A = this chain, B = another copy of it.
Amino acid sequence: MTTLLPIAAETGACCAPLVRAPLGADDAVTLATQLKALADPARLRLLSLVAAHDGGEACVCDLIEPLGLSQPTVSHHLKVLVDAGLLTREKRGVWAYFTLVPQALDSIARVLTTV
């Protein structure tokens, strides 16, 4: 679960749009790993909450209450999102601030686009 994605998956698009070129087995695994990180209601809301928060960043304590989950569970989901390259984590003092990784969601969206 702590497995990091290949560099390409974190920095840019993993592959051409699905419907344009046949998806290779390796690319399929990479893309599926990124989508698995997204395919959870709690994690989707975390991304949305972080994006909506002041300054585009939020700490764990900001996210526990609106999500209605325990602190360990929220930390777990945040870790999954960080490992997937969708969020960055910056520790400042006792707090950990999370921010969206620019373009990360867009590069996934681009692979799904059919137009």
Contacts and interface: CB of A to CB of B under 8 A. Distances in A.
Interface of A: 18-19, 21-23, 25, 28-29, 31-32, 35-36, 38-45, 47-49, 51-52, 100, 102-103, 105-106, 108-110, 112-115
Contacts of A40: 32
Contacts of A49: 22
A48 to B, nearest CB: 4
Q: Which of A42, A44, A52 has the most CB of B within 10 A?
A: A44
B100 A19 contact: yes
A114 B99 CA distance: 13
24 contacts: A18-B48, A18-B51, A19-B47, A19-B52, A19-B105, A21-B48, A21-B52, A22-B49, A22-B52, A23-B45, A25-B41, A28-B41, A28-B42, A28-B45, A32-B40, A35-B35, A35-B39, A35-B44, A36-B39, A103-B114, A105-B114, A106-B115, A109-B112, A112-B112
